[in-house]
C-alpha cells in the first residue's frame, strides 16, 4: 500500500458508512414512494382526480426536494454533513407522519412539500461524504451501492406498504393516538414515518471525514477552503457544455422514469384489476431483484470498463442504460397478462437503476471537493425538476390525449418513447466534453 493509499479511511469502515447511507436513502425512498402505492385509496378518500394526483406524485414533493437541495448542498460543502443528514431525516419522517394526518388535498400537498425539504439534505451530503471515503477509482461502485438504496426503498415501500394496507384492512387499525379515527392509508403513513426516525440514530456512527483537496484540470483557483458563489459560477461556466448535455439528458431520463414508475401501481390496478396488496407484493419483489441488481451492475460495469483504459466509463454506462430502458418500457403496457407485463416492467426497472449511481459518480469525477455537494445539488435540481413533472405528464396524456383512465399504459409508453430518445441523444453529446475534462 502506498503512502497516498494509506491516507484514505479503512475500506471496511468506508463500506460501513455506505451501508448506513444506503439505509438512509432506502428510508427516504420508502417515504416518498408510499404515495405511488396508495394514490388510488387516497383519491377516493379525499375526493380528487388524476390531475391533482399528478401534483401529489410529482411537483408537491419534487419541486421542494430539488430547490432546497442547492442551499443545503452549499451548507454541506461548509459544515458537518453527518449532522445535516441527521436533521433532514428527522424532518422528513415527521412530515411523513403528518401526511397521514391530512384531511384534504391541500394538507397532504403541504405535508409532501415538507418531506421534500427534509430529503433534500441527503444526496448532496451523502455523495460528498462518499467522495472523501473512497479514492476515485472506487467511487463509481460506492456511489452505485449508495444509490442502490433507491431500489431497496422502493421494494420495501411496495412490500411493507402493501402488507400494512392488507393488515390494517383485515385487523381494523382505524384509530391512532392523538389522530383518532383514520383511514388505512393514513395509518400506513404514520407508522412508516415513525419507524424512519431510526435513520437519525444510525447516522450517529458515521464520522465526518477529512475533506480532500483534489486539483483538477484548469481548476487550481478552486482548491479553496470555502469557494464563493462567484467561484461556483466560474466552475459551472467552465463545465457548461458538459453539464448542459449530461444534466439535460439525465433530466429527460428522469422524466421517463418517474412518468412510468409513479403510475405503475395504478396501471396494474386499472388494467388487470389487481388489489393494492398484490400490486405492492409484486412490484416490491421486482425492485428488490431487478432494481438492486441493476444499480450494482452499473457500478461493476463502470469499473470493468475503467480497468480496460476507458476513462469515460461512467458516462458510457449512462448511455447504455438510457438506451436499454426504452424497448421494455414501451412493451410492458401492452402485454396480454399481468405476469408478462410484470416481467417487462422488471427489465425496465433494471435499466432505470443501471445508470443511476454512475451518472452522479461522473459528476464527482469532474468536480473539485469543495464544490461537490453544491454541484451534486444542482445536478439533482436539473434532473428532478423534469423528473417530478413526469407523473403530471402521464396524467395529462391520459386525461387529454387518450381521454380514458384505463389507457394510462398508453401514456406511459408514449412518454418512454419520446423522452428516452431525447435522453440518449443528449447524454451521447456529453461524451466529448467529458473526455476533455478528465484528460490529464
The percent of residues above 90 in pLDDT, for the chain, comes to: 25
**pLDDT 10s digits, 19-40:** 999 989 988 888 877 787 778 7
- What's the DSSP call for residue 335? -
Q: For residues 269 and 356, what is the distance between their CA atoms, to the nearest angstrom?
A: 28
- Report the C-alpha dihedral over residues 177, 180, 182, 184, rounded to 10 degrees: 30
All cell numbers assigned to 197 = 426516525
**pLDDT 10s digits, 184-226:** 778 888 888 888 888 888 888 888 888 776 555 544 545 455 6
**Helix-strand-coil percent breakdown of the chain, rounded to 5?**
80, 0, 20
Specify the higher pLDDT residue, 289 or 278. Answer: 289
- Report the C-alpha dihedral over residues 53, 95, 208, 149, rounded to 10 degrees: -40
Q: Which of 134-143, 216-225, 412-421 has the lowest mean pLDDT?
A: 216-225
Name which of 391, 400, 283 is nearest 345 in CA terms. 283
**R_g of the chain, CA atoms, integer Å:** 21
**pLDDT 10s digits, 158-168:** 777 767 666 65
Assign residue 204 a region (left: φ > 0; alpha: ψ between -120 and 50; beta: otherwise). Answer: alpha
Q: Which of 58-62, 143-147, 399-403 has the lowest mean pLDDT?
A: 58-62
- What integer pLDDT is reported at residue 344 of this predicted model? 94
Those residues whose C-beta lies under 8 Å from the C-beta of residue 336, and which sit 6 or more positions away, are: none
On whether the CB atoms of residues 356 and 147 are closer than 8 A, the answer is: yes
Please report how many Cα atoms fall inside a 13 Å half-sphere around the Cα of residue 381, on the Cβ side.
Answer: 19
All cell numbers assigned to 314 = 461512467
The arithmetic mean of pLDDT across residues 240-262, rounded, is 91
Those residues whose C-beta lies under 8 Å from the C-beta of residue 322, and which sit 6 or more positions away, are: 249, 250, 253, 355, 420, 423, 424, 427
The arithmetic mean of pLDDT across residues 51-57, rounded, is 78
Q: Is the pLDDT of residue 253 over 90?
A: yes
Q: Is the pLDDT of residue 395 over 60?
A: yes
- What integer pLDDT is reported at residue 247 of this predicted model? 94
On whether the CB atoms of residues 411 and 403 are closer than 8 A, the answer is: no
- What integer pLDDT is reported at residue 31 of this predicted model? 80
Name which of 233, 239, 356 is nearest 290 in CA terms. 356
The arithmetic mean of pLDDT across residues 273-281, rounded, is 80
Q: How many helices (H) and strands (E) does the chain have?
A: 22, 2
- What integer pLDDT is reported at residue 84 of this predicted model? 92
Assign residue 293 a region (left: φ > 0; alpha: ψ between -120 and 50; beta: otherwise). Answer: alpha
Q: For residues 301 and 306, what is the distance between their CA atoms, to the nearest angstrom?
A: 9
The percent of residues above 70 in pLDDT, for the chain, comes to: 90
Q: Is the pLDDT of residue 295 over 90?
A: no
Domains located in the chain, CATH noted:
10-205+226-438 (1.20.1250.20)
Give start and end residues of each alpha helix (H) in 77-135: 81-99, 105-119, 122-133
- pTM of the predicted structure, to 2 decimals: 0.74
| Positive or negative torsion for Cα 273, 275, 280, 281 | negative
Q: For residues 63 and 353, what is the distance between their CA atoms, to the nearest angstrom?
A: 22
CA 181 and chain centroid, separation: 33
Amino acid at each position: 500500500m502506498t503512502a497516498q493509499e494509506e491516507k484514505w479511511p479503512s475500506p471496511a469502515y468506508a463500506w460501513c458508512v455506505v451501508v448506513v447511507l444506503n439505509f438512509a436513502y432506502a428510508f427516504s425512498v420508502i417515504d416518498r414512494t408510499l404515495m405511488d402505492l396508495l394514490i388510488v385509496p387516497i383519491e377516493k378518500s379525499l375526493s380528487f382526480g388524476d390531475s391533482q394526483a399528478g401534483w401529489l406524485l410529482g411537483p408537491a414533493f419534487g419541486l421542494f426536494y430539488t430547490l432546497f437541495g442547492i442551499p443545503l448542498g452549499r451548507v454541506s460543502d461548509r459544515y458537518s454533513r453527518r449532522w445535516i443528514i441527521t436533521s433532514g431525516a428527522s424532518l422528513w419522517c415527521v412530515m411523513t407522519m403528518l401526511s397521514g394526518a391530512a384531511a384534504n388535498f391541500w394538507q397532504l400537498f403541504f405535508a409532501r412539500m415538507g418531506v421534500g425539504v427534509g430529503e433534500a439534505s441527503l444526496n448532496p451530503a451523502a455523495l460528498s461524504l462518499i467522495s472523501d471515503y473512497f479514492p476515485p477509482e472506487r467511487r463509481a461502485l460506492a456511489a452505485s451501492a449508495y444509490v442502490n438504496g433507491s431500489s431497496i426503498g422502493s421494494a420495501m415501500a411496495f412490500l411493507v406498504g402493501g402488507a400494512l394496507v392488507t393488515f390494517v384492512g383485515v385487523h381494523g387499525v382505524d384509530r391512532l393516538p392523538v389522530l383518532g379515527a383514520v383511514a388505512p392509508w393514513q395509518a400506513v403513513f404514520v407508522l412508516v414515518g415513525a419507524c424512519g426516525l431510526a435513520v437519525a440514530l444510525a447516522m450517529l456512527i458515521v464520522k465526518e471525514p477529512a475533506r480532500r483537496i483534489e486539483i483538477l484540470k484548469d481548476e487550481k483557483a478552486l482548491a479553496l477552503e470555502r469557494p464563493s458563489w462567484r467561484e461556483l459560477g466560474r466552475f459551472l461556466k467552465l463545465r457548461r457544455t458538459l453539464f448542459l448535455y449530461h444534466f439535460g439528458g439525465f433530466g429527460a431520463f428522469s422524466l421517463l422514469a418517474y412518468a412510468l414508475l409513479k403510475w405503475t401501481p395504478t396501471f396494474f390496478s386499472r388494467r388487470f384489476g389487481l388489489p393494492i396488496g398484490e400490486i405492492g407484493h409484486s412490484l416490491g419483489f421486482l425492485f428488490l431483484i431487478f432494481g438492486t441488481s441493476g444499480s450494482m451492475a452499473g457500478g461493476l460495469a463502470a469499473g470493468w470498463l475503467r480497468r480496460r483504459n476507458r476513462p469515460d466509463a461512467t458516462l458510457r454506462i449512462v448511455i447504455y442504460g438510457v438506451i436499454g430502458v426504452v424497448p421494455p418500457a414501451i412493451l410492458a403496457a401492452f402485454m396480454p397478462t399481468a405476469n408478462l407485463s410484470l416481467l417487462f416492467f422488471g427489465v425496465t426497472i433494471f435499466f432505470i437503476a443501471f445508470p443511476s449511481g454512475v451518472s452522479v459518480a461522473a459528476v464527482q469525477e469532474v468536480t473539485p471537493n469543495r464544490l461537490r455537494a453544491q454541484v451534486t445539488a444542482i445536478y439533482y435540481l436539473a434532473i428532478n425538476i423534469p423528473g417530478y413533472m413526469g407523473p403530471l405528464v402521464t396524467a395529462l396524456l391520459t386525461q387529454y390525449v387518450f381521454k380514458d383512465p384505463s389507457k394510462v399504459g398508453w401514456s406511459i409508453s408514449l412518454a418512454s418513447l419520446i423522452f428516452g430518445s431525447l435522453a440518449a441523444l443528449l447524454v451521447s453529446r456529453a461524451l466529448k466534453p467529458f473526455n476533455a475534462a478528465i484528460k490529464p
